[in-house]
Amino acid sequence: MEYQDATKKTLYKKLIRLIAGMVILLIVIAVQPFTYENIDAGNVGIKINLYGSDRGVDNITIVTGRVWYNTWTTKIVEFPTFTQSVDYEPFVVTTKDAAEFKVDPKLNYHVNSTMVPQIYRQYRKPLAEIEQQFMRNTIYDAYRIVANSFSSDSVMSNRERFEDRIQMILTKNLSKDGFIYDQLTSAITPPESLRQMIDEKNASIQARLKAENQAKQADAEAKVKVATATGEAQALLVRAKAESEANRLRQQSLTPLLVQQQWIQKWDGKLPTTQAGGNASFMLPVK
């Protein structure tokens, strides 16, 4: 009986130790600092040391793949290097003649992978926050500077030159911080007064072009009529000249001898008669 009680106590203690060991193991597993990060293709990761003399952003860019690290001492920040498209909220810029234009920009860019550590060291923020702060301010400043050098009407009449200057500024200011400019699409809306003037000007141009086209069409139609009348007159003249020439030739060919011969050929043998006074008849001599 005592032996059985001792065996039960031994088994009970072993069970307690096993359960305690499993609990401790689970706690260790739960709190252990080692983990990994999968850096997907089209992204780069940077390792940040949280402790030690070399704490801060390493100069080594971690390539794509699985990266193991200690979460207690190290942090991994992932930056996408594929093309990003950011649609910003509209803002207003002023031209040199104090006209206000609304700009609705959309930027396409990508990150220079070799400069990712520098980007994080400088801004210490995720890429989404950098887009809405530094990059948005850079875009706004580019539009503001360029708009101040244009008058309101020249902005609309020289859109290509206006946007080329903005592109030059953005390319320069973004690239020095590791952001490569790809494309900027901007919807520029002029003030209502200028838009009305543009509409009126376009309507006037269209009316003038329509009038010019109508005048050209009328002139063309008149030329066609003149050409037709000239052709008909020339045709009549040609026919008249031909008939006149034919008559002239016929008259030249009718000699007295030929006329007499034709008369003889047509004579039926009867002498022409006439009456004078009573019943006396006269014979007309034939010449």
Its pTM stands at 0.59
pLDDT in tens, 65-94: 888 888 888 888 888 999 999 999 999 999
- Over 90: is that where the pLDDT of 262 sits? no
pLDDT on residue 286: 46
pLDDT in tens, 172-229: 999 999 999 999 998 888 887 766 766 666 667 777 777 778 778 877 877 777 778 7
Q: Among residues of the chain, what percentage have pLDDT more than 90?
A: 26
Q: How many CB atoms lie within 10 A of CB 55?
A: 12
pLDDT class for 287, splitting at 50, 70, 90? very low
Q: What is the mean pLDDT of residues 263-279?
A: 59
pLDDT on residue 261: 65
Q: What strands lie across the sheet with 74-80, from one edge to the other? A: 56-62, 43-49, 74-80
Q: Which of 5-9, 105-109, 112-116, 249-253 has the lowest mean pLDDT?
A: 249-253
* Burial class of residue 107, CB neighbours in 10 A (0-12, 13-18, 19+): buried
Q: Could you write out the three-class secondary structure of the chain?
A: CHHHHHHHHHHHHHHHHHHHHHHHHHHHHHHCCEEEEEECCCEEEEEEECCCCCCEEEEEEECCEEEEEECCCEEEEEEECCCEEEECCCEEEECCCCCEEEEEEEEEEEECHHHHHHHHHHHCCCHHHHHHHHHHHHHHHHHHHHHCCCCHHHHHHCHHHHHHHHHHHHHHHHHCCCEEEEEEEEEEECCHHHHHHHHHHHHHHHHHHHHHHHHHHHHHHHHHHHHHHHHHHHHHHHHHHHHHHHHHHHHHHCCHHHHHHHHHHHCCCCCCCCEECCCEECCCCCC
Q: What is the mean pLDDT of residues 40-62?
A: 74
Domains present along the chain, CATH in parentheses: 11-77 (no CATH), 84-190 (3.30.479.30)
